[in-house]
Amino acid sequence: MAFLRFPLRPNYGQKLTLLATLPLIVAVAAISALVAHQSRLMAEREIQAMEEQLIEAKKAELKNYVTQARNGFYFIYGNADPTDEAAKQQVMQILAAMIYGTEGAFFVYDYDGTNLVSPRQTDMINQNWTGLSDSEGTSVVDELIDIARQGAGYHSYLWPKPSTGEEARMITYVTSFPSWRWAVGTGVFIDDVLETSAAARAEVEARVQRTFFYIGGITLAAVLVVFASGMFLNIRERRLADAKLKELTQRVFDAQEEERGRVARELHDGISQILVGVRYALDSAKRRLLQGDARAGETLEKGISALLGAIQEVRRISRDLRPGALDDLGLGPALKALTEDFAARTGIETEFNTVVFRNRLDQESKIALYRIAQEALTNIERHSGATEVSVNMRGHRSGATLSIRDNGHGLPQDTGRRDRPGGLGLRNMQERIEQLDGNLRILSSRDGTLIEAQLPLSHLLPPEELSEPPAKAQM
């Protein structure tokens, strides 16, 4: 169902996956556009170069045709008078007979624009074509005559193909017979060159499109792989998170039950027994008063003393649950009171050292460090067999550090490792310090155990945020 909801309302992991794939898609699109543009430019340059080479080859061929034709009848033209009509007729017959290929032929115009030779289009002969232009408006006959008057040259224009009657691009080379006032030339259609170029451009465009398809397919596959990997990791991490959440919830319940059991045991073994003793003392004092026994006052004194012990026990339990010194005086005095009470209760020689902080710890850090110290001292009392304990609290440039060292027999093997976190107490320490982005280090040997909790500088409040007077600023 979560997958079905994705198109409408993606979750956080799916949004991250989309955000990760978006730069990939943009980058691939930009690369594809750049590759296509560069490919088209390179191909166009190559096609234009090929087209120019083919056209230049045709131009050279045309010039060669005209030169050979002129050399073939130059002996007639060179020896004839400008008014020798017989020689002109002989040359026109020779040029009219010089046809080649399916479209090639020579033409002759006089300088007035009259066509004298046109073997492929005989209907043009003996007609004046001055002002003739092609469908694009390019001057044809007048331009050919102008080129001939200047000596020789090339001209390109559209001209009907004799074989089909359809216009096609033609390149013409024209030269002059100045004494006869003739413009003589021949032309060749270059539609085959243009078709070759067009086919090459179409092939390039097809290759570019195929490249786009290939890149698109690869990109789609990559995006699907990234998306599938993201979904897999998202589902896996969610399952792990759910499992950890269930485990954490169970551990919270276990910790609550353990704490309730501890409080219940202390109430039953401590306060309950003391109050029972007070009751027996009061009952005994009552009977002695009724009997007129002088020892009734002594019994009442014992009951009062027991009641004071019960009051002190209630205060101790309350202090263990939430020490008032932690809120009123700060972490330093609270830790000092904790170690003094530990030493008085267990008889273990305990030393406490601290440095007054220039800046105070925030509330979460004070509670976490106090609970870590409390848990560590409880473990020392129950399991270590230590005779000496040292508690050190100090601030430094990197933050704050609480270290607790004892000379006991150490922790069981692998207890302090992260992958084998040991008992519930050590796990609680680890989780408390990780929630504050800190670090917990546990070093254990046969000579004792060192527990060191480090908090980053971000948990130290600047002076202007202190709510207590400076005299109370003890961390």
Residue 445 sits in a domain whose CATH number is 3.30.565.10
Tell me: pLDDT of 210 over 60: yes
Average pLDDT over residues 199-215: 82
Residue 373 resides in a domain: yes
Q: What pLDDT does 253 receive? A: 73
pLDDT tens-digit readout, 373-415: 888 888 888 888 888 899 998 877 777 888 998 988 877 765 5
Residue range of the domain that includes 432 = 323-472
Tell me the pLDDT band of 106, cut-offs 50, 70 and 90: very high
Residue 122 resides in a domain: yes
Tell me: pLDDT of 150 over 70: yes
Average pLDDT over residues 338-361: 79
Residue 331 resides in a domain: yes
Average pLDDT over residues 6-26: 66
Average pLDDT over residues 116-123: 90
Average pLDDT over residues 69-89: 83
Count the domains in the chain.
Answer: 2
Angle 290-292-294 (CA atoms, 0-180°, nearest 5)?
A: 125
Domain boundary among the residues 189, 223, 242 is at 189
Supply the mean pLDDT for the chain. Answer: 79
Question: CA–CA distance from 50 to each of 46, 288, 450 (Å)?
Answer: 6, 132, 83
Structure-token pair, residue 260: 């309730």
The residue type of 112 is: D
Own/partner contacts of 42-49, CB < 8 Å, gap of 24 or more, are 43/200, 43/201, 43/204, 44/201, 44/204, 47/197, 47/200, 47/201, 47/204
Average pLDDT over residues 8-34: 72
CA distance 17 to 71: 80
Residue 460 resides in a domain: yes
Residue 149 sits in a domain whose CATH number is 3.30.450.20
Among 76-90, 161-175, 209-223, 314-328, the least confident range: 314-328
Is residue 342 within 8 Å of 382, Cβ to Cβ?
no
Q: What pLDDT does 222 receive? A: 78
Q: Which residue has the higher pLDDT, 95 or 360?
A: 95
Q: What pLDDT does 459 receive? A: 67
Structure-token pair, residue 90: 């002989």
Tell me: pLDDT of 423 over 60: no
Q: Which residue has the higher pLDDT, 174 or 473?
A: 174
Tell me the pLDDT band of 474, cut-offs 50, 70 and 90: very low
Q: What pLDDT does 336 receive? A: 86
Q: What percent of the chain has pLDDT over 90?
A: 12
pLDDT tens-digit readout, 42-75: 888 888 888 888 888 888 888 888 888 888 777 8
Q: What pLDDT does 21 receive? A: 72
Q: Which residue has the higher pLDDT, 441 or 265?
A: 441
> What is the Cα Rg of the chain in Å?
54
DSSP letter at 128? B
Q: What pLDDT does 255 receive? A: 67
Residue 263 resides in a domain: no
CA distance 69 to 228: 76
CA distance 28 to 214: 12
Is residue 77 within 8 Å of 69, Cβ to Cβ?
no
Q: Which residue has the higher pLDDT, 114 or 365?
A: 114
Domain boundary among the residues 149, 168, 189 is at 189
Residue 132 resides in a domain: yes
List residues bridging with 406 in a β-sheet. 389, 449
Q: What pLDDT does 321 receive? A: 67
Domain boundary among the residues 189, 221, 247 is at 189
Residue 118 resides in a domain: yes
Average pLDDT over residues 26-30: 81
Residue 150 resides in a domain: yes
